Structure 1
Amino acid sequence: MRPVLEIGGTHVTAALADPHTATVARSVRRPLDARGTAEQILGAVVRCAGDLEAAAGEVWGVAVPGPFDHDKGIARFEGVGKFDDLYGIDVRSVLLDGVWPRPAETVFLNDAHAFLLGEWRAGAARGHHRCVGITLGTGVGSAFTVDGGVRRTGPGVPPQGRVDLLRVGGRPLEDSVSRRAILARYGDGDAANGVLDSAVDGASGGVLGGVLDGALDVREIADRARAGERRARHVFDETFTTLGAVLAPCLRGFDATALVVGGAMAASWDLIRPALRAGLGDTPVALRAGALGENAALIGAAVYVT
Structure 2
Amino acid sequence: MMYSIGVDIGGSHITSGMFEHMNKQLIDSTIVTLPVDNGASKSDILSQWTEAIQQTMSISDVAHIEGIGLAVPGPFDYYNGICLINGVQKFDSLYKVNVREELSSRLNFPGDNIRFINDAASFSIGEAKFGEASAFRRCVAITLGTGFGSCFLVDGQPIVNGPDIPLQGVLYDKYFDGHMADDLFSTRGLINSFDQLTGKKADSVLDIYQMAKENTDACQVFRNFGSELGKFLKPHLTLFNAEVLVLGGNISKAYEYFGDDLQEQLPGIKISVSKLNEYAALIGGASLLEKDYYSELSTTLKLMN
For the aligned pair, the TM-score class normalised by the smaller chain equals: 0.7 to 0.9
| Cα separation, partners in 2 of 1:148 and 1:92, compared to 1, 3 Å | same
Matching residue's letter, 2:37: D
Cα distance in 1 for residues equivalent to 2:5 and 2:183: 36
Question: How far did 1:189 drift?
Answer: 4.3
Give the corresponding residue for 1:18.
20
Letter in 1 for 2:194: Y
Q: Is the 8 A contact 2:5 2:65 kept in 1?
A: no
Determine if the alignment matches structure 1 residue 252 to structure 2 residue 224. Answer: no
1:197-216 alignment runs, 5 A limit: 211=201, 216=203
Structure 1 range deviating more: 30-39 or 106-115: 30-39
1:218-233 mapped onto 2 (5 Å cutoff): 218-230=205-217, 232-233=218-219
Structure 1 residues 298, 225: CA separation in 2 closer, same or farther (over 3 Å shift)? same
Pair 182,37 (structure 1): closer, same or farther in 2 beyond 3 Å: farther
Q: Write the deviation string for residues 11-35 of structure 1: whole angstroms up to 9, x where unpaired.
A: 2112211344321123222122334
Identity percentage of aligned residues: 33
Secondary structure in 2 aligned to 1:164?
Answer: coil
CA distance in 1, matches of 2:212, 2:171: 27
Q: How far off its partner does 1:104 sit?
A: 4.5
Alignment partners' CA distance in 2, 1:59 and 1:279: 42
Give distance in 1, aligned partners of 2:204 and 2:88. 18
- Maintained 8 Å contact 1:158/1:166: no
Deviations, residues 251-296 of structure 1 (Å, cap 9, x unaligned): 111111110101122221212312322333x3x2100101222321
Name the residue aligned to 1:236.
Answer: 222
Q: Kindly report the root-mean-square deviation, in angstroms, between the aligned alpha carbons of the 2 structures.
A: 2.2
Determine which of 283, 286, 290 is the counterpart of 2:270.
Answer: 286
- Measured against aligned partners, the alpha-carbon deviations of 1:232-259 in whole angstroms (never above 9, x if no partner) come to 2222222232221121111111111110
For the residues of structure 2 that align with 1:156 and 1:233, how far apart are their CA atoms?
Answer: 34
2:96 counterpart of 1:95: no
8 Å Cα contact 1:56-1:101 kept in structure 2: no
Does 1:52 find its partner at 2:72? no
Partner of 2:300: none
Distance 1:83 1:31 in 2: 14
Which structure 2 residues correspond to residues 19-168 of structure 1 after superposition, within 5 A? 19-25=21-27, 26-53=30-57, 58-80=66-88, 82-100=90-108, 104-168=112-176
Q: Distance in 1 between matches of 2:144 and 2:96?
A: 26
> What TM-score, normalized by structure 2, do the two folds share?
0.84
Q: Tell me, what secondary structure is at the counterpart of 1:6?
A: strand
What CA distance in whole angstroms lies between the structure 2 residues aligned with 1:87 and 1:220? 35
Residue range with higher mean Cα deviation, 259-268 or 169-178 = 169-178
Distance 2:76 2:111 in 1: 21
Gap change, CA 1:19 and 1:143, over 3 Å in 2: farther
CA distance in 2, matches of 1:22, 1:261: 21
What letter matches 2:144 in structure 1?
L
Cα separation, 2, equivalents of 1:3 and 1:139: 25
Cα shift at 1:61: 0.8
Q: Secondary structure at the match of 1:109?
A: strand
Q: Give the match for residue 264 of structure 1.
A: 250
Asked whether the equivalents of residues 56 and 102 of structure 1 are also in contact (C-alpha less than 8 Å), the reply is no
Matched, 1:295 2:279: yes
Q: TM-score, with normalisation over the residues of structure 1?
A: 0.84
- 1:7 equivalent in alignment to 2:15: no
In 2, the alpha carbon distance for the partners of 1:261 and 1:60 equals: 25
- Mean Cα deviation higher: 242-251 or 14-23: 14-23
CA distance in 2, matches of 1:190, 1:228: 11
* Aligned-partner Cα distance in 2 for 1:235–1:92: 43
* Uncovered stretches (5+) of structure 2, i.e. residues with no partner: 291-305
Kept in 2, the 8 Å contact 1:113–1:150? The answer is yes
